[in-house]
Amino acid sequence: MGNAKGDLLIVILLLIALGIAWVMTGGPRNTIAHQSGLFSAPWPLGNNGNAYKVPLVPLGTGDTSSSDTSDTSNAPTPTNTKTSIFDSFFGYRPGVGRATDPSVSPYAEFVRLDRGNATSQDAKNEYVTIRISGSPKNNLILTGWTLQSSTNSIKVVIGPAAQTPSLGNINTDASISVNSGATVHVTTGRSPNGASFRINQCTGYFEQFQDFSPALPQDCPRPRDEMYLFPEKTAGNAECEAFINTLRQCTLTVTEIPGKIGNNCQDFVLNNLSYNGCVIKHRNDADFYKNEWRVFLGRDQELWSNSHDRVLLLDENGKLVASVSY
pLDDT score of 100: 74
**Percent of the chain residues topping a pLDDT of 90:** 64
Quickly state the pLDDT bin for 47 (edges 50, 70, 90): very low
Residue 24's pLDDT band (boundaries 50, 70, 90)? Answer: low
Question: Which secondary structure element, helix H or strand E, spans residue 322, and what is its range?
Answer: strand 320-325
Q: Which whole number is the average pLDDT over 31-37?
A: 39
Question: Which band of pLDDT confidence, cut at 50, 70 and 90, is reported for residue 23?
Answer: low
Contact criterion met (CB below 8 Å) for 58 and 299: no
Structure confidence at residue 13 as a pLDDT band (50, 70, 90): confident
How confident is the prediction for the chain on average, in pLDDT?
81
At 21 the pLDDT is 64
The per-residue pLDDT for 104 is 97
Which residue(s) pair with 295 in the sheet? 186
Residues 43-48 have a mean pLDDT of 38
Q: Can you give the pLDDT at residue 22? A: 59
Q: In this prediction, what percent of the chain has a pLDDT beyond 70?
A: 73
Q: What pLDDT score does 319 carry?
A: 97
d(Cα 156, Cα 260) in Å, to the nearest integer? 55
Strand order in the sheet with 310-314: 155-157, 146-149, 310-314, 320-325
pLDDT at 34 over 60: no
Q: How sure is the predictor about 309, in pLDDT bands with cuts at 50, 70 and 90?
A: very high
Per-residue model confidence (pLDDT) at position 99: 56
DSSP for 273-318? SSHHHHHHHHTTSTT-EEEEEEEE---SS--S-SS--EEEEE-TTS
167-224 confidence digits (pLDDT tens): 888 899 999 999 999 999 999 999 999 999 999 999 999 999 999 999 999 999 999 9
Q: What is the CA radius of gyration of the chain?
A: 29
Element (H, E) at 92: strand 92-93
Name the pLDDT band for 9 (thresholds 50, 70, 90): confident
Query: How do residues 67-123 score in pLDDT, each as one tens digit?
Result: 343 343 343 333 333 434 444 444 444 433 445 788 999 999 999 999 999 999 999
Q: With a cut of 70, say whether residue 243 has pLDDT above it.
A: yes
Could you report the per-residue pLDDT of 124-176, keeping only the tens digit for each? 999 999 999 999 999 999 999 999 999 888 999 999 999 999 988 889 999 99
Percent composition of the chain: helix, strand, coil (DSSP 3-state, to 5): 25, 20, 55
Which has the higher per-residue pLDDT, 104 or 36?
104
